[in-house]
Structure 1
Amino acid sequence: MRNQSIRTAVTLAAATSLLALTACTTDPSVTEDPGGSAAASPEATEQEWFDQALYDEQFEQRTAEFEGDPEQPYLQYIAGEMKDTSDLAVEGEQKVCFANASISNPWRQTGWITMNQQLKVLQDSGVISEMETRDAKDNDNTQIADIDYFINEGNCDAFIISPNSTAALTPAVERACDTGKPVVVFDRGVETDCATTFIHPIGGFAWGIDTATFLSERLQEGDKVVALRILPGVDVLEHRWAAAEKIFTENGIEATDYFTGADPTEIKKIISDELATGDVQGVWMDAGDGAVAAIEAFEDAGKDLPVMTGEDEMSFLRKWQETGIDALAPVYSNFQWRTPLLALEKIFKGEEVPAEWVLPQEPIPADELDQWLELNEGMPDGHYAKFGGEDLPGYPEVWQERQMP
């Protein structure tokens, strides 16, 4: 059953079954977005995800000016409402409690390594005493219990939360806010603005706009695109597809979408089945996991390679260079894993932070491919090119060896 392809038109029950089956195997890159992962609620799968105002906002943010040093993109932000944290200022080392959705895919693993190297810097400087982390392993109920454990334990000076899914985690995040301690939400969003700051790259709509525009400019009306999606119910992923679907429809491109669980075998099967019924001119992905498998399916079938969007994962970048396909690598900035800890450093000092901390999110185009491959030479396939940790202790060995804390 795990290899059964599922289109978005399937029943809610079928989509929920897929979530249960993929809960321990994958988790997208990105949220607001992401990213994303596992057990989205039934209500989330029924939600209407297209938001014209948010689409328009992120369309404009793609070309916005960012405050801060471009050499430190993890500290940059788009000017907007700032949060006064003077009442949260404290002295001495503080204990941070981190409720993490998972480290179940390469994007999250890369970020987790980076986050822990940043933690070492802040421990050495006397900002943070320790970071107690609980990993929900892609399960909403587990993460809710993790947050409640931290609250009931009463030993947390601040909370960091990377939500597993959007709607289900909202009440637990609100309970953390009710403690009066700083709460930093990052990666994926929730349906409350109670957090001290919400940190994320521009968002899923920006990803969808960049990628679908790229494909649409290279394809003809009536061409076929296979859209490979990880799973439903996570805001950043749903926003990616909502934007892409809008643009494909406007350009007369036939796009058929499937949930894959980022399973390479499933991806190959989907592509092979589509190629058996006719030509496929394009491949769109809401996360880069399995991008190489998609290309290999065309190679195995002896078909012309498609125009394609993947992600800045090294396996895709290397396959892109090897094959010379016409491609784009969208980015859901992995360096965001540093930002929550750096935000807490500011909050503990009582400094202002953005209420919504929007980080840069710039795709890798063809003319930058060789540059990013050279910068990440020696990194494993599961590494992400724009991870932004080159100045941290342990670079590059810690990332090369994938030393999970």
Structure 2
Amino acid sequence: MRRSVKIATAGVALFGLIALAGCTTDPSVAPPTTEESEAPAETSEWFDQALFDKQFAERDVTPQGPADEPYLQHINAEMVDTSGFASAGAKKACFANASISNPWRQTGWITMNQQLKVLQEAGAISEMETRDAQDSDDTQIADIDYFIAEGNCDVFLISPNSTAAMTPAVERACATGKPVVVFDRGVNTDCQVTFIHPIGGFAWGIDTAEFLIDNLKEGDKVVALRILPGVDVLEHRWAGAKKLFDEAGIEAVDYFTGADPAEIKSIISDELAKGDVQGIWMDAGDGAVAAIEAFEDAGADYPVMTGEDEMSFLRKWKDTGLTGLAPVYSNFQWRTPLLAAQMIFAGQEVPKEWVLPQKPITKDELDDYLAANEGMPDGHYAKFGGENLPGYPEVWQKRQIP
């Protein structure tokens, strides 16, 4: 049954974690079969030199905004005038969400709803009516059209299920004259007031590849574990990393895994049977523990490895002492759309493209993030950015999802 929730009156319930990718992915793309996993698609069609260069540079830009509020920071922003939307009184937000079908999205959804409570108490947002598309383009299109037809939305918040399919529906929302805020994944239009996202997939690929290259030598072998094909942010992660591996003379072989721990272990075991594997690269951290366990099962030395800021990887990284890096796709972005709506109705300028910081967790920071997130479940994301919200830490520890 699909979910349609008026958050202003909805209760909370315990929602079990599922073993899917802990990142922003397009679940409408079916997981590959074992045969497909042995023959990944070429990365050249996904490589964009201009976007690679843009994100390469943005990693070193000092963000503008409050130092202790990364969800309000922005990089190289072109600010837009929102005075035409200025209006007094609490506003109704209508949120068309792609899904909460993986731990990354669940963590963000919890944070978003705690941010909502703050804005309700401040009299900025009256309620947030949410429709969950459960990973379906058709459902999300219907959701957006429902909100338009309902006619009771003051602002549209949209986290698209996929890019091209959602573009016409987003444009229809824009045509109402109400402000539209798009976040996480993009669409092929700029009609929205602001598009909110971390730096991007190429930045992830650059950070991770540079780390592996710095800790390996020419001729070493890296096994790349990829969760799904055809998802732009994931394909960009690999396309960026592969470019740098090739230039550095690192032998890199990639497999699609569907984030299946058994498949991950099988791939690693087969590669270890062929010879030494010095590095593991992942486009999402889910399944990282299974990859490490495959080395343990084989009695092999731990690899140099990149995972993600999901707690399961951070804890295994600490326990094993391996050489690791945790890239992030900043989960705190789930706070920003509601805060953007507040700013828009106050007539404050907002970035047209709101690029949020995206900084990996390094070895020197590992203990601090483990301590700060003690008691959080394995599916929690360390850089969730909700420490100053009501309900912290219990709501996130109990995975109380509206």
TM superposition outliers: structure 1 runs of 4+ over 6 Å? none
> Following TM superposition, by how much is the alpha carbon of 1:27 offset from its aligned partner in structure 2, in angstroms?
4.7
The alpha carbon displacement at 1:80 in A equals 2.5
1:307-318 equivalent positions in 2, closer than 5 A: 307-318=304-315
Structure 2 residue aligned with 1:217, among 214, 234, 253? Answer: 214
> What pairs up with 1:2-401 in 2 under 5 angstroms?
26-29=20-23, 35-40=24-29, 48-401=45-398
Change in CA separation of 1:236 and 1:131 when aligned onto 2, cut-off 3 Å: same
Distance 2:50 2:104 in 1: 29
- TM-score calculated relative to the size of structure 2: 0.90
C-alpha contact (below 8 Å) 1:26/1:38 kept by paired residues = no
Pick which of 213-222 and 347-356 moved more: 213-222
Number of matched residues?
374
8 Å contact kept, 1:27–1:38: no
Deviation of the 1:28 alpha carbon: 4.8
Cα distance in 2 between the residues matched to 1:238 and 1:355: 25
Residue aligned with 1:399, SS: helix
> Shift of the alpha carbon at 1:374?
0.9
Please, which runs of 5 or more residues in structure 1 have no aligned partner?
A: 1-23, 30-34
Aligned partners of 1:260, 1:164: CA distance in 2, in Å? 21
**CA contact 1:28–1:37 (8 Å) conserved in 2:** no
Q: Aligned partners of 1:223 and 1:197: how far apart in 2?
A: 43
- In structure 2, distance between residues paired with 1:292 and 1:65: 33
CA contact (8 A) 2:202 2:239 kept: yes
Q: 1:26 is matched by which residue type in structure 2?
A: L
Question: Partner letter of residue 353 of structure 2?
Answer: E
Cα-to-partner distance string for 1:98-126 (whole Å, 9 max, x where unaligned): 11111111111111100000000111111
Q: CA offset at residue 51 of structure 1? A: 1.1
Letter in 1 for 2:281: W
Corresponding letter in the other structure for 1:332: Y
Distance 2:364 2:263 in 1: 31
Task: Give TM-score scaled by structure 1 length.
Answer: 0.89
Alpha-carbon RMSD across the aligned residues, in angstroms, is 1.7
**Residue type of the alignment partner of 2:236:** H
**Could you tell me how far apart the structure 1 residues matched to 2:227 and 2:22 are?**
7
CA distance in 2, matches of 1:101, 1:132: 14
- Distance in 2 (CA, whole Å) between partners of 1:69 and 1:342 is 13
What is the CA-CA distance between 1:365 and the residue it aligns to? Answer: 0.7
Give, in angstroms, the shift of residue 328 of structure 1.
Answer: 0.3
Q: CA deviation at 1:149?
A: 1.7
SS in 1 for 2:401: coil
Rounded Cα–Cα distance in structure 2 between residues aligned with 1:185 and 1:123: 21
Gaps spanning 5+ residues in structure 2: where? 1-17, 31-40
- Following superposition, the deviation at residue 226 of structure 1 comes to 1.2
Give how far 1:40 is off: 4.4
Letter in 2 for 1:309: T
**3-state SS of 2:94 partner:** strand
User: 1:63 and 1:138 mapped to 2: Cα distance?
Assistant: 34
Q: Which residue of 2 aligns with 1:8?
A: none
- In 1, Cα distance between equivalents of 2:186 and 2:229: 14
Do the aligned residues in 2 keep the contact of 1:144 with 1:169 (CA within 8 Å)? yes
Kept in 1: contact 2:96–2:157 (CA 8 A): yes
